[in-house]
Structure 1
Amino acid sequence: MKSINPDDFRVSDKIKLSKIPTELNIDADDDEKEEMLEKVQKKLSKLQDVMYAHNRYSVLICLQGMDTSGKDSLIREVFKEFNSRGVVVHSFKTPNSAELEHDYLWRHYLALPEKGKFTVFNRTHYENVLVTRVHPEYIMFENIPGIEKVEDITPNFWENRMAQINNFEKHISQNGTVVLKFFLHMSKEEQRKRLLKRLESGEDNWKFSIGDLKERECWDDYIKYYEEAINNTSKENAPWFVIPADDKEMTRYIVAKIIWEEMQKLTDIKEPELDPKVKANIDLYKEQLSK
């Protein structure tokens, strides 16, 4: 069975998504993949408990991918062993009127994880250089000075926005937030199958939206802008990982394994030691409680 090395998925040089496979074969069946995932789930859960007691670091997991790439089910499976107090999930949708009264990063600052906790962004601040690039008319709702019409949005605008995102991630990482970003790299053919499955399944067809088909028509644009965003914002302090996503079970295991391996680099995460005065009197306290 082939082992998983996070560096195989980390973006450290310029990438071309069309050259990266959307499926990985490690010579394991679904039961074996599930068993491997369960082992990592439990290790991550224990790590988070220690992290909570240590109270120095927080972790931000960013998930991006095309519609049906498996973000929701990945969150459910990877973090299922966590204490509910230890992980918070934010699914960012179209900005509401209150959010549009602030800059585009404001709502993401509000959702950042507390120390000792994990937060998962299901769709992230990167929507602001992805969806808005495919549909630049959305920028007009932000009431940005100097942007009166779509034609005012120049390439420099997007370069500045990605620089702002880099600064945002650098700032939070320097203050104790571990930032790990995952692009679930699914093929267009696999998306077609999953959309068809939604339509054919009585249980899942409520998930289908006509908008899914409209966005699918923009597939090439999205891939182009994902590629550009990933290449410009994968940094040492906030790396991107491109994860093959045609096999959901494999995708979940790879993401969980990468999170675990990356967290092992933080060798100072330990449970706090008991106060020496308390430790010296443990027998006395036990005697008092036993009475």
Structure 2
Amino acid sequence: MKNINPEDFRVKGNIELSKLPTRLDIDTDKAEEELALDKVQMKLSKKQDAMYAHNRHAFLICLQGMDTSGKDSLIREVFKEFNPRGVVIHSFKTPNSTELEHDYLWRHYLALPEKGKFAVFNRTHYENVLVTRVHPEYILFENLPGIEKVEDITPQFWANRMEQINNFEKHIAQNGTTILKFYFHMSKEEQRLRLLKRLENPEDNWKFSTGDLKERERWDDYMKYYEDAINNTNKDHAPWYVIPADDKGVARYIVAQTIWEKLESLKDITEPELDPKVKANIDVYREQLKG
């Protein structure tokens, strides 16, 4: 996997998703992919322990993509070597009645990582400018002033939401949270094959939802709004990465390596020194424990 550079997938300027690859043409196999990922996992695990002890930085990992794009399995594979104390996974579903009594970012603020920890958002605050743009009627459940019907939702409403999201991310970045945002760029054909697999394999049947087929019918709308969201919220302090997702193994490696390189760039992360008084008497304490 030496020929894969995570920086190549970082968004630089406006993008057109239709012109970006969903699969990389590289000479690799599953065994090589797994070996490469294993190596990054171990490095991440050790560095994460140091970050936890250092207790200054936090990481927010945002995962977005269409159904079956591989977000769940990536979380399982990339973070499996992490100390459980240092990583929390949040899968945001349809807002419940309590969440709807607050602004749309409230529940995301509550889930932000503590210092020294990683938080992984599986679907994120971006659902509020993706799903709700495809289905603007969902906005009516938020009981917003001046929004009585779908026709009240203007282009400026969405522009304001983008600005609010940018402000949200800027605020947390300035207070010590490193933000990395990944869009899993999967082809419509690959999604078809993965949905079929869920139907054809009994052990995968439980993953299938008829809702997936309904959302698939709006594929072009989702692509348009993903593109708009990425182009309007790609910032130096909160960069987007478009990950070719037709090959899950390659996608996992790119995400893991991206996180590793960012974590490694934070040169102030060190494990705290032992208190000098304790260090000076370490032999005494060792003898006490032997007795």
Q: What amino acid is the match of 1:34?
A: E
Give 1:290 deviation, angstroms: 2.7
Give the alignment of 1:1-291 within 5 angstroms.
2-291=2-291
Secondary structure at 2:116 match in 1:
coil
Contact 1:56/1:116 (8 A) holds in 2 = yes
TM-score normalised by structure 1 residue count: 0.98
Q: What amino acid is the match of 1:145?
A: P
Give 1:210 deviation, angstroms: 1.1
Shift of the 2–26 alpha-carbon distance from structure 1 to 2, 3 Å rule, reads farther
Contact 1:12/1:235 (8 A) holds in 2 = no
Select between 275-284 and 47-56 the one with higher mean Cα deviation: 275-284
Contact 1:4/1:257 (8 A) holds in 2 = no
Secondary structure at 1:193 match in 2:
helix
Alpha-carbon distance between aligned partners in 2 of 1:169 and 1:138, rounded to the nearest angstrom: 24
TM-score normalised by structure 2 residue count: 0.98
Q: Which runs of 5+ in 2 are unaligned?
A: none
Give 1:47 deviation, angstroms: 1.0
Secondary structure at 1:178 match in 2:
strand
Give 1:283 deviation, angstroms: 2.2
Q: Which runs of 4+ in 1 moved over 6 A?
A: none
- 1:169-207 deviation line (CA, Å, top 9, x unaligned): 111111111110000000000001011111111011111
What is the aligned-residue RMSD (CA, Å)?
A: 1.0
Q: What amino acid is the match of 2:77?
A: E
Give 1:125 deviation, angstroms: 0.3
Alpha-carbon distance between aligned partners in 2 of 1:143 and 1:86, rounded to the nearest angstrom: 36
Give 1:2 deviation, angstroms: 4.3
Q: What amino acid is the match of 2:151?
A: E
Alpha-carbon distance between aligned partners in 2 of 1:196 and 1:88, rounded to the nearest angstrom: 31
Give 1:166 deviation, angstroms: 0.5
Secondary structure at 1:197 match in 2:
helix
Give 1:3 deviation, angstroms: 2.4
Q: Which runs of 5+ in 1 are unaligned?
A: none
Give 1:25 deviation, angstroms: 2.9
Give 1:89 deviation, angstroms: 0.7
Alpha-carbon distance between aligned partners in 2 of 1:143 and 1:3, rounded to the nearest angstrom: 50
Q: How many residues align?
A: 291
Q: What amino acid is the match of 1:77?
A: E
Alpha-carbon distance between aligned partners in 1 of 2:71 and 2:133, rounded to the nearest angstrom: 22
Alpha-carbon distance between aligned partners in 1 of 2:275 and 2:104, rounded to the nearest angstrom: 44
Select between 21-30 and 278-287 the one with higher mean Cα deviation: 278-287
Alpha-carbon distance between aligned partners in 2 of 1:50 and 1:96, rounded to the nearest angstrom: 37
Secondary structure at 2:241 match in 1:
strand
Q: What amino acid is the match of 1:29?
A: D
- 1:37-96 deviation line (CA, Å, top 9, x unaligned): 001111111111101100001111100000100000000000011111111111100000
